[in-house]
Structure 1
Amino acid sequence: MSKLFLSLHVLAAIIAIGPVTVAASMFPKAVREDGDPGLLHRICRGYALIGISVPVLGLATAGVMGVTGHPWVVVSIALTTAAAFLLALKIIPGQEKALKTNDVGHLAMHTGVFNLLWATVTVLMVLRPGSTTGA
């Protein structure tokens, strides 16, 4: 069962988080250069909803593997929560504001932090420091 949950977790991360990080990164430039920021915003919103499956499947995987309390899992949960709040409270609303005003403000910075949080979670998932499951 752990292999199934892990496979679904990784697939969800690739399918959902990848497009959000790319679209969010491209958004400020699209606003400044008269690209198509509306499409990028819709991608971010849509894939953010799909992205909810990533931590759900991650928790299921950790539970089946019996590693829920391991430090690398706890830190990953904290970073994922921070990334989710950043996306929901700063990036998506910032994009909506930019679509109306053409002012991207601190959107590029927020997106960079969001991407850094996900990159850190990815590294933790690969390295699993202190894990007994054999990284």
Structure 2
Amino acid sequence: MGVKDVADAADMAVSTLFTYFPRRVVIAAARGLPTRRLVKHFRTPQPSGWLKHRLGFSQPEGWKERSLEHVLLSLHVLASIVFVGGSAVATSLFPRYAPVAAGVAVGTATGPRPSDSGKEPGEDSGERNQAAAVVLHRITRVYSLLGLVVPVAGITLANVQGRMGEIWIIVSMTLTAVAGGLLVTQIYPRLRDALSKPDDGRQLRTLSMLAGIYNLMWAIVVVLMIVRPGSGSGV
């Protein structure tokens, strides 16, 4: 065996020592320090994955569960802002642009009155816009369907966190169900009727009232999500 072979073997041995044992232990052994602590360290079984932990490749315990919670919470919040917020705005704006029956002045339910601008009664200085009302009606329909992601993600997140029994979760789910029922059974059919069969403005005033109730329930849900009354974690 030549000198080069000996040097290669020494390099491999040193690399192995620094790979599998703490650097300070190898240096201490090379300096001839007392070996009692070194022997104790070598005889102590190392925990599973200790090498990955020293190299920085290990993950903290429970990181998968926390990552799932972060994904569900992000999906829940983003879907609430985009889909629920979009449907709330669309239902609120619809009565402003929806058409009324010909010959009926906007803002009255008792009959026509002459228009000061010389336009036909019911044209309301150009604010009424059939195309805008159709777009708002379509937004309400599509965003309401996509908004189903909000309760699904919220209930899944509550199950993962073990919070299904907390009072704020129960009240939020109840208000969400009531708001969804109001949208499906009252608001959306009235939007469709307002487009297909315009009247003297009475159904638009009813729509405005229902949209206000719908938005109020979602506002209460948002407050519950922030305050969390009865939360077991206190955060």
TM-score tier by shorter-chain length is: over 0.9
RMSD: 1.2
Which secondary structure state, in structure 1, belongs to the residue aligned with residue 233 of structure 2? Answer: coil
CA deviation profile, 1:13-69 (whole Å, cap 9, x unmatched):
111111100010000111154222100000000000000010000000100110011
Q: Percent identity?
A: 44
Which secondary structure state, in structure 2, belongs to the residue aligned with residue 130 of structure 1? Answer: coil
**TM-score, normalised on structure 1?**
0.95
Moved over 6 A (4+): none
* In the alignment, structure 1 residue 23 sits paired with structure 2 residue 90: yes
**Residues of 2 paired with 1:133 and 1:18: CA distance?**
28
**Residues of 2 paired with 1:54 and 1:134: CA distance?**
23
Task: Tell me the CA shift for residue 102 of structure 1.
Answer: 2.1
- Work out which of the residue numbers 137, 155, 172 in structure 2 matches 1:41: 137
Task: Tell me the CA shift for residue 100 of structure 1.
Answer: 1.2
Task: Tell me the CA shift for residue 132 of structure 1.
Answer: 2.4
Which residue identity does 1:63 align to in structure 2? N
**Residues of 1 paired with 2:156 and 2:232: CA distance?**
18
Which residue identity does 1:120 align to in structure 2? I
- Asked whether the equivalents of residues 166 and 232 of structure 2 are also in contact (C-alpha less than 8 Å), the reply is no
The answer for the alignment partner of 2:182 in structure 1 is: 86
Unaligned regions of 5+ residues in structure 2, if any?
A: 1-67, 100-126
Which secondary structure state, in structure 2, belongs to the residue aligned with residue 132 of structure 1? Answer: coil
The answer for the alignment partner of 2:228 in structure 1 is: 128
* In the alignment, structure 1 residue 100 sits paired with structure 2 residue 200: no
Task: Tell which has more relative contact order, 1 or 2 (C-alpha 8 A, sep 6+).
Answer: 1
- Work out which of the residue numbers 157, 164, 184 in structure 2 matches 1:61: 157
CA deviation profile, 1:61-92 (whole Å, cap 9, x unmatched):
10011001111000000000000000000111
Larger radius of gyration: 2
**TM-score, normalised on structure 2?**
0.56
**Residues of 1 paired with 2:215 and 2:150: CA distance?**
15
The answer for the alignment partner of 2:104 in structure 1 is: none
